[in-house]
Amino acid sequence: MSGDQALPGAEPAPQETGKAAFWETPDIYGAYPRLTEDQIARLEEHGQRRSMAPDDVLIREGERCETFFVVLSGSVAVIEDYGTPEEHLLRVHGPGRFIGELGLLYGQVAFYTAVAKEPGEVLVVPLDQLRHLVSQDSSIGDVVLRACLGRRALLVGQGAGFRIVGSRYSPDTRRLREFAVRNRLPHRWIDLETDEEAEELLRRFGVGPAETPLVIWRDTTLLRNPSNAELARLIGLPSLPAGNRHRDVLIVGSGPGGLAAAVYAASEGLSTTVVEAMATGGQAGTSSRIENLLGFPSGISGAELTERAVLQADKFGAGISLPLEATGLHAKDDDHYVVTFADGSEIAARAVVLATGARYRRLQVPGIERLEGTSVHYSATVYEAQQCRSDPVAVVGGGNSAGQAVLFLAGYAPKVYLLVRGDSLEASMSRYLIDQVERHPRVEVMLHTEVTEVIGEEELEELDVVDNRTGEHRRLAARSLFVFTGADPHTEWLAGVVALDSRGFVLTGPEAQEACASPEVWQDRGRPCMTLEASLPGVFAVGDVRSGSVKRVASAAGEGAMAIHFVHRHLGHSAAPGTTGTPAVAGHSDVSPRIRHKESAWLA
């Protein structure tokens, strides 16, 4: 199963199974597989057995978990708010099952406490050994990764994790919610305007409405209007490591293009860091289902594709840090660039890959701003979909992102309107999506239709739409609006630094060289601007941020891989790590001896 598959907010109560003498949560959704004897034997080669007594704590909520547990005998209870008046049982696992969810693989803190329920024995595997096995052994890796993704989705559906207390009208509340949603963090939003629990929490912690939004966890941790970085540190998301901040390659952005570049750069021996302003996966990471990606005949969710790529990059030694918003790029010397960030930090690198992607355009109509983040959304994930179980929703857009969102939301909402301003879907949507959209009984496609007003005070009530052929207006009842109307590149920080086209996308190759403000830089290097190279030598652009790119996951990943080929060629004319920066001489390569790079004639 995928992390975006429809999952209920609560699971059935644990019940006795025919194969065991204890109560155990049934594995209805594939999130709690039982490992085979062969899989356990392979895990045991990297771990050790340990006995457990009732009430032994294996994993504690709010603390980093460095260990993977497999239940060999007895049973383990997974509990939220353990030891507090709000304590409640989430699930129970017996022999053959393992304890952990997605955060386990990345060193995040736990969102639950795991306690021995019945005496028995567990297999204890260090986390670094688990990561190695997940990346090397597909029979274990597939089971563990899919189960972890499914468990994370269940935690989200149950409202586990931290609480965000804030007003729906607050930009900071919307910012924190977006960060939590995009990073797939279990949390629950408590609306200051309508939720009675909000007032009780403010009294308990002695804070006023002006100090919101708040992040509350385990009733012991309180953050007042934290930055995204502060929330990330609380949860244990990866930050920029201290110490040496010089890299062979710095990749800015972690969509499919950026992650592919990270995998190829790190696997070929280049010291590699990826920085991300919001969340790994980019726009692709929010896709409920990608069905036309080569090698995945049954499709794959954007979340699962992202997590697999992140694990793969980590396997080869690439570091990923977030949230880090790039604010500047400049040359440090002839061989290095420096990228600066909003928090004042910086990283120097011998080559830079720009993979910042593009952001969905906001719909500019009256009444929409006050409902953004509550009833108006620019992505369709399980978080938003769970709010749409009883009321009709509308999707604006005619491309693949809109089509994928429609099909995903139709699994939750009783009615989904697809509003398209053009006269057909063929112009920008793949045929396989068109067929599914047009056949779905809960979907109504409305062509030649544009939204002119969003109506509702605290939540969306209606949309005013117009037929752009006749000018006729009508009201459409909807409780949520999802907008997918194209995207703008995230390149404001690059204006005046690299050449951009008229829409702000990064020019590469001959077009970049022609637009270069200092054409002599190419003459000095004795070579032309390479295919994916921007107007600065050693700076490359891949994926949606690049002018003329094909807006597809596979093409972005391909460009990420190609960019590293060109990085190698660029580094062949500059210094290798640890050298003085002198040019290469005939018969000698100044690329790091760790690199085993294979030239491809078709890329020459």
DSSP 8-state class, residue 546 = B
Could you tell me the pLDDT band of residue 131, with boundaries at 50, 70 and 90?
A: confident
Superfamily of domain 162-235: Glutaredoxin (3.40.30.10)
Would you call 64 exposed, middle or buried from its count of C-beta atoms within 10 A (0-12, 13-18, 19+)?
middle
Cis amide linkage into residue 519, ω under 30° from 0:
no
The yes-or-no answer to whether 15-157 and 369-485 have a common fold is no
Residue with tokens 């990561």: 131
pLDDT beyond 60 at 4: no
Q: With contact defined as beta carbons under 8 Å apart, do 150 and 7 qualify?
A: yes
Q: What is the DSSP letter of 558?
A: H
Q: What count of residues does the chain have?
A: 604
| Whether the predicted model's global pTM rises above the 0.75 cut | yes
Is the pLDDT score of 289 beyond 50? Answer: yes
Specify the fold of 369-485: FAD/NAD(P)-binding domain (3.50.50)
156-215 pLDDT, tens digit per residue, is 878 889 999 999 778 899 899 989 988 989 999 998 988 889 999 999 999 999 999 999
The predicted structure's pLDDT at residue 6: 41
Angle at 182 between CA 59 and CA 539, to 5 degrees: 115
Cβ atoms of residues 263 and 318 within 8 Å: yes
The CATH architecture to which 15-157 belongs is: Sandwich (2.60)
- Does residue 591 have a pLDDT over 60? no
Reported in sequence order, the residue ranges of 94-152 that DSSP labels E, i.e. its strands, are 98-99, 113-126
Task: Locate the domains of the chain by residue range.
Answer: 15-157, 162-235, 246-359+488-575, 369-485
Place of tokens 């270069």: 516
Task: Write the pLDDT tens digit of every residue in 355-406.
Answer: 999 888 889 999 998 888 788 988 887 778 877 888 999 999 999 989 999 9
Average pLDDT over every residue of 560-579: 76
User: Hey, is 421 helix, strand or coil?
Assistant: coil
The encoded tokens of residue 382 equal 């399980």
Query: What sign for the dihedral angle of Cα 254, 260, 263, 264?
Result: negative
Nearest to 257 by CA among 359, 357, 147: 357
Ranges of beta strands (E only) in 110-244 are 113-126, 162-166, 187-191, 214-217, 221-224
In CATH, the number for domain 246-359+488-575 is: 3.50.50.60
Per-residue pLDDT at 594: 43
Whether residue 552 is predicted with pLDDT greater than 70 in this model: the reply is: yes
